Amino acid sequence: MFIARVSRGRTIREFVTGVLFVPAGFTLMWMTVFGNSAIYLIMNQGATDLANTVQAGCGAGPV
């Protein structure tokens, strides 16, 4: 209902672009940047402290 009100006076192409493709593109770029940064840190700097901490905490029972 909200999207229908906002998109009043727009073409179907503009609606589909604004509702589907723009958020999907933003999410793709976000995951690419932060995913690659995380992979880089793990491969080149050995940043595995968080993973080890989480694994150690899982066996300790509920937090």
Spell out the domain ranges in the chain: 12-58
Please give the C-alpha separations between residue 49 and each of 18, 35, 46, 53, in angstroms, as whole numbers.
40, 17, 8, 6
- Answer whether 0.75 is exceeded by the pTM: no
Q: Which amino acid is at 45?
A: Q
The whole-number pLDDT of residue 29 equals 96
Query: pLDDT tens across 3-48, in order?
Result: 666 667 778 888 888 889 999 999 999 999 999 998 888 888 877 7
